[in-house]
């Protein structure tokens, strides 16, 4: 501390020395400062005065500068505002445009606007609050556009579902126009050519037409090309802004061009929705939804109405809906990239084909009108050709048409069965009388008949057949024409058409016509005259079968000698009918004979015979003579067979009268009366009621009766018993059983007579001797019978 204090004192002394050294300068400085203060006071007063003057003088300038400052500030603010608005206005305009496009349902442009707004404009003004609101609304707007476009697609799908039949009708009209000139040509040919060659000319015409380019196909290709070009534009620019739906098309005159099916449909909703979903990255979702909905619609379209089979319009509407559906799908296939593909179309078509064929099989089976079946076939052909023009395979439809052809044949057979029944029921079964050349040529034109002798005869004259012959022949040709109509446009070869016609015609002949003829022949009220005329008619129809063969050959151009050519069975049909009629004649004659025999009233106990044959037998012989006189026109040996059959039946029936169990006793007088009746029959046989018998051939029908009666009348038992079994036996046709039965009946009479007769013993002795002879003969006959059976 002492050191420190000493140090401080030293410094103080140094400070004092320094101050003392600078003190004069300090005093001088103070003096100068005082002088300066005075001057400064003066300067201050001057500055204050100057400032006061300046302030007074600068007030106006300050006000002006303040105003200029405010203007400069406002100008800067305005400039900044203009710059900001320049950035914001396009955003607001784009947003306004977006709302307007969405309001007017221009969804695809709205989506494009939204993309520009999001990626180009909003980033430049992202710090504004309204932009943040817009950015937050963008996902919702996208979803809204997506939903609205889907709503338009649903409206489109619903619209085409309702209008599929109109679309299909238009498409099928296009296909009809392709065949228009062909139909006119067919009509022209039908006016110029004979019926036998019309079908051949039509077939040649078909071949020519099939080589011509199809008008509808050309139009379709043009549509597809324009649609493809349109798609290229649509992929880079917004679609058409028209509303979805089907355009209304009024019925146009035939002279005007039928619009294409694509002209009826506005496909823009599909394209818009497809592009929108593609842009939004949901194309697969859209494709899946579209295909699913169209599959559902396909199932609805393919469900036929329950009463479809009642009218052709039902089938037509069904086909139109199917064609309309696949026309739309075909157009979508060719105008979009991948929305539908060929595999999807083929899958739908396979389903449609199977369901359509099943529905047609079911509903066509209810149809009994051949005209409706034929119209249905033409509609199916048009349906198949239309879809084939769009590239769909239709072979199964044509295969099914061959099945329908069988049904068509059945309906034709039923219809012609009625036609034949009416012809046969209305026929008078009398030869056709002709009074002049015109009528004669008319009938010859209907039925191929040539007879030089008939042509030479003067008028009036008669054809040998009745009216049902030319009518039936004409109806057979009409049936062949009807079968030919069904074969048109089925893409069948001439051989297949010929085979189909021949098989159907064979069914007509062997089943339908044969049954009708059999029914007429078997009718209870049919008479012998009608049966005779039926035989004559069927003979002429049988001869006409070769002309039917030629007729079919002319219209199909297939020669009968061709391998596998089906032959007509008409000859067999008419032969069978003729044989049935012949059998019916034989049966009818036998029934008439039986009716006469029921009138027989023999007195089997008569002691003496009458002087003439029985009245019933005389009437029977008269009936047979008049009947066989009608048989002169019968062909072949029918009359001879009928006469022989009648005589045999008469002989057998007479023998049965003798052998009836109810006749227990029989006198020789009754036997002689019976012999007179048999002689009357033999006289009838010798008179030759039917020409053509050689010698006594017809009398042989009564040989059994004759030998039996001769044996008993001549009482030639020794000869019979001695020669029995030898070829040269006189009584070769007498059966020992028959002889025994008849002998026992005579024996009973003699026994009763011997018991009652007691007048002469010698007479009784003769009776006893004869009775013993009868017993001996009966014993020997029993021996012959036993030896024969053993």
User: Concatenated DSSP letters for 453-520?
Assistant: HHHHSPSSEE-SS-THHHHHHHHHHHHHHHHHHHHTTS---HHHHHHHHHHHHHHIIIIIIHHHHHHH
Q: What is the pLDDT of residue 631?
A: 75
Q: Are 385 and 491 in contact (CB under 8 A)?
A: no
Q: What is the pLDDT of residue 764?
A: 58
**Whole-number percent of the chain with pLDDT over 90:** 6
Mean pLDDT across the stretch 495-518? 87
Q: Are 616 and 597 in contact (CB under 8 A)?
A: yes
Distance CA(284)–CA(61), nearest Å, equals 77
pLDDT in tens, 117-129: 777 777 777 777 7
Task: Classify residue 490 by burial, with Cβ atoms within 10 Å: 0-12, 13-18, 19+.
Answer: middle
* Average of per-residue pLDDT values in the chain: 79
> How many CB atoms within 10 Å of residue 357?
16
Mean pLDDT across the stretch 401-420? 88
Q: Are 702 and 681 in contact (CB under 8 A)?
A: yes
Q: Please state the separation of Cα 458 from the chain's center in Å.
A: 54
Q: What is the pLDDT of residue 257?
A: 53
Average the pLDDT over each of 197-206, 347-356, 491-500 and give the range with the smallest value. Answer: 197-206
Verify cis geometry, omega within 30 degrees of 0, for the bond prior to 460. Answer: yes
Q: Are 366 and 475 in contact (CB under 8 A)?
A: no
Mean pLDDT across the stretch 720-726? 84
HEC readout, 623-687: HHHHHHHHHHHCCCCHHHHHHHHHHHHHHHHHHHHHHCCCCCCCCHHHHHHHHHHHHHHHHHHHC
Closest CA to 383 of 289, 448, 318: 318
pLDDT in tens, 269-300: 888 888 878 877 888 888 888 888 888 888 88
pLDDT in tens, 196-229: 444 444 444 444 333 333 333 333 433 343 333 3
Q: What is the pLDDT of residue 579?
A: 83
Q: Which two tokens stand for residue 130?
A: 């309204």
Q: What is the pLDDT of residue 212?
A: 35
pLDDT in tens, 524-575: 777 878 888 888 888 888 888 888 888 888 888 877 666 556 677 767 878 8
**Whole-number percent of the chain with pLDDT over 70:** 85
Judge whether residue 583 has pLDDT over 90.
no
Closest CA to 494 of 555, 537, 563: 555
Q: What is the pLDDT of residue 199?
A: 43
Q: What is the pLDDT of residue 75?
A: 93
Output the CA angle 689-690-694, nearest 5 degrees.
105
Judge whether residue 244 has pLDDT over 50.
no
Mean pLDDT across the stretch 705-733? 86
Distance CA(34)–CA(650), nearest Å, equals 198
Strands 461-462 and 433-434: antiparallel
pLDDT in tens, 358-392: 888 888 778 878 888 888 888 888 888 888 888 88
Q: Which pLDDT band, with edges at 50, 70 and 90, does 57 fall under?
A: confident
Q: Please state the separation of Cα 785 from the chain's center in Å.
A: 72
Measure Cα distances from 593 to 137, 446, 520, 675 in Å.
113, 40, 22, 18
Distance CA(454)–CA(463), nearest Å, equals 8
Helix (H) or strand (E) holding 128: none
Mean pLDDT across the stretch 432-460? 87
Signed CA dihedral, 360, 361, 367, 371: sign only: positive
- Residue 265 DSSP code: E
HEC readout, 179-203: CHHHHHHHHHHHHHCCHHHHHHHHH
pLDDT in tens, 319-330: 888 888 888 888
């Amino acid at each position: 501390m002492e050191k420190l204090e000493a140090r401080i004192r030293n410094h103080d002394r140094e400070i004092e020395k320094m101050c003392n050294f600078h003190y004069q300068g300090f005093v001088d400085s103070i003096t100068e400062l005082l002088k300066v203060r005075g001057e400064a006071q003066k300067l201050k007063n001057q500055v204050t005065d100057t400032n006061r003057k300046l302030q007074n003088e600068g007030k106006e300038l300050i006000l002006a500068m303040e105003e200029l400052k405010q203007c400069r500030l406002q100008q800067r603010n305005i400039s900044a505002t203009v710059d900001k608005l320049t950035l914001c206005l396009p955003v607001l305009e784009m947003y306004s445009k977006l709302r307007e496009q969405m309001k007017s349902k221009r969804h695809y442009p709205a989506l494009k606007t939204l993309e520009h707004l999001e990626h180009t404009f909003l980033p430049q003004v992202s710090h504004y609050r309204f932009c943040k609101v817009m950015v937050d609304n963008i996902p919702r707007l996208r979803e809204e556009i997506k939903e609205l476009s889907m709503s338009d697609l649903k409206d489109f799908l619903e619209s085409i579902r309702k209008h599929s039949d109109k679309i299909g009708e238009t498409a099928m009209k296009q296909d009809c126009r392709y065949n228009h000139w062909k139909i006119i040509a067919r009509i022209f040919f039908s006016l110029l050519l004979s019926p036998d060659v019309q079908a051949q000319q039509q077939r040649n015409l078909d071949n020519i037409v099939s080589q011509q380019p199809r008008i509808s196909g050309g139009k379709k290709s043009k549509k597809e090309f324009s649609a493809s070009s349109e798609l290229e534009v649509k992929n880079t620019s917004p679609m058409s802004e028209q509303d979805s739906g089907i355009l209304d098309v009024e019925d146009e005159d035939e002279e005007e061009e039928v619009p294409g099916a694509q002209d009826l449909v506005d496909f823009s909703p599909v394209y818009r929705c497809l592009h929108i979903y593609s842009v939004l990255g949901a194309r697969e979702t859209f494709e899946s939804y579209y295909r699913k909905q169209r599959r559902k619609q396909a199932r609805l379209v393919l469900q036929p109405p329950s009463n479809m089979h009642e009218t052709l319009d039902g089938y037509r509407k069904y086909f139109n809906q199917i064609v309309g559906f696949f026309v739309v799908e075909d157009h979508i296939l060719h105008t979009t990239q991948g929305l539908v593909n060929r595999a999807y179309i083929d899958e739908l078509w396979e389903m449609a084909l199977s369901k359509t064929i099943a529905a047609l099989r079911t509903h066509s089976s209810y149809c009994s009108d051949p005209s409706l079946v034929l119209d249905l076939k033409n509609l199916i052909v048009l349906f198949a050709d239309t879809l084939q023009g769009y590239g769909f395979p239709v072979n199964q439809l044509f295969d099914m048409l061959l099945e329908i052809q069988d049904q068509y044949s059945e309906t034709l057979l039923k219809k012609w069965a009625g036609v034949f029944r009416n012809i046969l029921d209305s026929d008078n079964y009398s030869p056709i009388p002709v009074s002049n050349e015109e009528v004669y040529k008319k009938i010859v034109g209907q039925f191929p008949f040539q007879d030089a002798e008939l042509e030479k005869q003067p008028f009036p004259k008669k054809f040998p057949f009745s009216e049902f012959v030319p009518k039936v022949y004409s109806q057979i040709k009409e049936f062949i024409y009807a079968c030919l109509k069904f074969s048109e446009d089925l893409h069948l070869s001439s051989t297949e058409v010929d085979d189909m016609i021949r098989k159907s015609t064979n069914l007509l002949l062997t089943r339908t016509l044969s049954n009708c003829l059999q029914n007429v022949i078997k009718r209870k009220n049919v008479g012998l005259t009608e049966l005779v005329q039926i035989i004559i008619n069927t003979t002429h129809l049988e001869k006409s079968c070769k002309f039917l063969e030629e007729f079919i050959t002319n219209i199909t151009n297939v020669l009968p000698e061709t391998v596998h050519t089906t032959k007509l069975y008409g000859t067999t049909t008419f032969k069978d009918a003729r044989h049935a009629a012949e059998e019916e004649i034989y049966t009818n004659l036998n029934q008439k004979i039986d009716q006469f025999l029921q009138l027989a009233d023999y007195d089997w106990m008569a002691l003496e015979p009458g002087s003439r044959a029985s009245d019933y037998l005389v009437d029977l012989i008269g009936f047979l003579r008049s009947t066989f006189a009608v048989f002169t026109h019968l062909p072949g040996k029918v009359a001879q067979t009928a006469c022989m059959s009648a005589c045999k039946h008469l002989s057998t029936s007479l023998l049965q009268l003798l052998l009836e169990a109810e006749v227990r006793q029989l006198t020789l007088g009754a036997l002689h009366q019976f012999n007179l009746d048999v002689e009357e029959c033999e006289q009838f046989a010798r008179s030759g009621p039917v020409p053509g018998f050689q010698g006594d051939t017809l009398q042989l029908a009564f040989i059994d009766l004759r030998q039996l009666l001769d044996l008993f009348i001549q009482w030639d038992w020794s000869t019979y018993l001695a020669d029995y079994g030898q070829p040269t036996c006189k009584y070769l046709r007498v059966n020992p059983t028959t002889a025994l039965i008849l002998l026992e009946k005579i024996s009973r009479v003699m026994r009763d007579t011997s018991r009652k007769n007691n007048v002469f013993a010698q007479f009784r002795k003769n009776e006893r001797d004869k009775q013993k002879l009868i017993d001996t003969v009966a014993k020997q006959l029993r021996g012959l019978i036993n030896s024969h059976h053993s």
